[in-house]
């Protein structure tokens, strides 16, 4: 069961990250989309908790948030080849 939770939440995290990176043209747009994503997840968590009370399982939501932060903070693969060395040793 946990493996299925991990696979689906990791896939959702990657999907949201790709959408934000591909379709946002500016940093401000990225922040707006990230804010909307967190607002949506927060609303879903709140409703799920209200419905299930003591049977509420936070693991999928926790995993989703952690994976999203990891995905969104990793370097953009499209820009990594543009990185140039800042200093070089010359003899």
| pLDDT of the chain, 91 residues: tens digit per residue | 677 778 888 888 888 888 888 887 788 888 888 899 899 999 999 999 999 999 998 888 888 889 888 888 887 665 555 455 555 555 4
Q: Does a structural domain hold residue 86?
A: no
Domain boundaries, position 56: 2-74
User: Is residue 89 domain-resident?
Assistant: no
Give the model's pLDDT for residue 90.
52
The answer as to whether 30 is a domain residue is yes
Question: Is residue 49 domain-resident?
Answer: yes
In a domain, 91, yes or no: no
54 lies in some domain: yes
Residue 32 covered by a domain: yes
Q: Please give the pLDDT value at position 60.
A: 86
pLDDT of res. 18: 86
How many structural domains comprise the chain? Answer: 1
Could you write out the DSSP letters of every residue in the chain? Answer: -HHHHHHHHHHHHHHHHHHHHHH--SHHHHHHHHHHHHHHHHHHHHHHHHHHGGG---HHHHHHHHHHHHHHHSPPHHHHTT---S-----
pLDDT at 78: 59
**15 found inside a domain:** yes
């Amino acid at each position: 069961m946990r493996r299925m939770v991990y696979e689906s939440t990791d896939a959702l995290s990657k999907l949201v990250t790709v959408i934000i990176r591909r379709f946002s043209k500016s940093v401000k747009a990225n922040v707006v989309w990230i804010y909307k994503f967190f607002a949506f997840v927060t609303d879903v968590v709140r409703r799920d908790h209200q419905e299930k009370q003591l049977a509420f399982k936070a693991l999928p939501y926790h995993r989703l948030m952690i994976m999203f932060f990891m995905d969104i903070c990793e370097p953009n693969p499209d820009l990594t080849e543009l990185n140039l060395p800042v200093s070089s040793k010359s003899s």
